[in-house]
Amino acid sequence: MTIKLDGKTLSLEQVRTVALGEKVELCSEATRRVNKSRKQVEDIVAQEKVAYGINTGFGTLSEVSIDKDKVEELQRNLIHSHSIGVGEPFDRITTRAIMVLRANTLAKGHSGIRLSTLQHLLDMLNEGIHPVIPEKGSVGASGDLAPLSHLALGMIGEGPVEYKGRIVNGNTAFKKVGLKAVKLVAKEGLALINGTQVMTAVAILALLEAEDAARIADIVGAITCEAMLGSVKPFQDCIHKLRPHPGQITCAANLRKLLKNSPIVKSHKNCHKVQDAYSLRCMPQVHGASRDAFAYLRRVLEIEANAATDNPLLFPDDNVIISGGNFHGQPVAIASDLGSIAAAELGNISERRVEQLVNPHLSSGLPPFLIKEEGLNCGFMIAQVASASLVSENKSLAHPASVDSIPSSAGREDHVSMGTIAARKFSAIVHNLQEILAIEMLVACQALDLRKPLIPANATSAVLDTIRKQVTFMAKDRSLYPDQRKILKMIRNGEILKSAESVTGKIP
């Protein structure tokens, strides 16, 4: 189903849908607003009024007026001079997310762009023509100037684009689908590059993966709890009602559903053990805090996805144009840094559970490193080491980017957000988290099998059965990386979540 853009109601899930290939179109009300704001720009040019971004220089050069006959050259020069992104290009999915977010903010009708230029951006999305946008080079101040300039460079046919898996010149791709390069006119260059769409796109895609990872953390945590002969008493609803953080309540409820009627749990109901380690007992508190952080990030990104982050902004109904600071990425920067911390902590506690499983001093009777004939076999010894490595890397990445600022543009941009760096670090941490959870899943399933003839709960049994179709029990040492990668794929494609939900119903 084609996604309709109105500048107001684009959801994070719709961003991902378009990023994965769905087509887009502009709604009629957005068309009217875009035309109305464009007329305001044309009136300013015709009347030769001085307005920032239309007929002046940019940044500290904003006091320099530009002759009417050089306004188009001004816009083209802006794109060329700002196209200084560095590093590897974003992948296709991220690039499409950037494109749809930029189109949606332009659809609000406060940027002064021509309808034909906006439509060209939509046509590129629908035809699968994706500008090559380098990942690095933005400080998130006047938005994502450098990377968005590469988007615009592709639109005007002067930059590389990806089309059907090949990198070609923009004009080459346009000819194949019957499009023509955009020739920018007054205000359009600035309208295309001034905004937070790169950091927002990266953060949205990472958040959606992080939210799924939080569900997987509950699932694998439940499996580890069973394998460790852990108690379900700390997950009782009465405890969490006394400290009603939403994420904590949700996680505890998930664990109760996942462990419902577990024969393993019932088998040690009257054991001598008084308390479990925090990595088991405090899953609702730790997982829940991360969930609440992701919920805050979601609220920020839902606003940002439908925000006008251009400068200057046009208000056609009042016939005013105002230069402000909506391009500043601080809201996304701080929220992304919080997301990084939250994702890192899910990995941190997961690694501790792996240690509980493989360490014979902690594992409640399981064989050392979950393998028989220890010594001859090393078992899952280095699985914990690999997890620790990723956790340590995440701790370094979780240092907030948003607390840094380096003035730019001769001091005019004297405080910057580093929001794109924050979003990229968040994405890297989430991908590491998925790897960490895959390691715990690999190890926990081995431990669960070692508890036979005891039987796990219906939900955890369903997950174990799903994994065992591709990853068998390890009786003797073998290379572990193929097994971990298979489980990682099942995490990322939703197969593990689906198997748990087949028993529990939806896991929020």
H or E stretch at 424: helix 419-450
Q: Do 273 and 229 form a contact (C-beta atoms < 8 A)?
A: yes
How far, in Å, CA of 442 to CA of 486, rounded?
Answer: 10
Domain 3-195 is found in CATH 3.30.365.10: no
H or E stretch at 285: helix 283-305
Strands across the sheet containing 160-163: 129-131, 160-163, 166-169
Helix, strand, or coil (residue 212)? helix
Per-residue pLDDT of the chain (508 residues; tens, 9 = 90+): 899 999 999 999 999 999 999 999 999 999 999 999 999 988 888 887 777 767 765 665 555 566 767 778 888 898 999 999 999 999 999 999 999 999 999 999 999 999 999 999 999 999 999 999 999 999 998 889 999 999 999 999 999 999 999 999 999 999 999 999 999 998 899 999 999 999 999 999 999 999 999 999 999 999 999 999 999 999 999 999 999 999 999 999 999 999 999 999 888 877 667 689 999 999 999 999 999 999 999 999 999 999 999 989 999 999 999 989 999 999 999 999 999 999 999 999 999 999 999 999 998 889 999 998 888 899 999 999 999 999 999 999 999 999 998 888 877 788 999 999 999 999 999 999 999 999 999 999 999 999 999 999 999 999 999 999 999 999 999 999 999 999 999 999 999 999 999 999 999 9
Q: Which fold has domain 202-504?
A: Fumarase C; Chain A, domain 2 (1.20.200)
Look at the block and give the residue holding tokens 């979003």: 423
Number of Cβ within a 10 Å radius of residue 134? 17
H or E stretch at 130: strand 129-131
| Omega before residue 312 within 30° of 0, cis | yes
Number of Cβ within a 10 Å radius of residue 116? 13
Query: What stretch(es) of the chain map to CATH 1.20.200.10?
Result: 202-504
* Res 63: pLDDT: 57
Q: Do 423 and 199 form a contact (C-beta atoms < 8 A)?
A: yes
Structure tokens at 238: 């009465």
How far, in Å, CA of 263 to CA of 456, rounded?
Answer: 6
* Res 501: pLDDT: 97
Burial of 268 (0-12, 13-18, 19+ CB in 10 A): middle
The β-bridge partners of 129 are 163
CA dihedral (465, 468, 469, 475) in degrees, to 10, reads -150
* Res 65: pLDDT: 65
* Res 30: pLDDT: 96
Q: Do 147 and 424 form a contact (C-beta atoms < 8 A)?
A: no
Q: Do 196 and 143 form a contact (C-beta atoms < 8 A)?
A: yes
* Res 411: pLDDT: 75
* Res 274: pLDDT: 67
Q: Do 108 and 308 form a contact (C-beta atoms < 8 A)?
A: yes
Rounded to 5 degrees, φ, ψ at 3 are -85, 125
- Please give the span between the terminal C-alpha atoms of the chain, in angstroms, as a whole number: 25
Return the closest-CA partner of residue 439 out of 494, 391, 389, 487.
487
- Which active-site residues does the annotation give? 52
| Omega before residue 453 within 30° of 0, cis | yes
Identity at 73, one-letter amino acid code:
E
How far, in Å, CA of 387 to CA of 478, rounded?
Answer: 18
How far, in Å, CA of 350 to CA of 433, rounded?
Answer: 9
Radius of gyration, alpha carbons of the chain = 26
How far, in Å, CA of 141 to CA of 326, rounded?
Answer: 10
Return the closest-CA partner of residue 16 out of 32, 3, 30.
3
Strand-pair category, 24-26 with 3-5: parallel
Query: What stretch(es) of the chain map to CATH 1.10.275.10?
Result: 3-195
Return the closest-CA partner of residue 3 out of 110, 12, 134, 419.
12
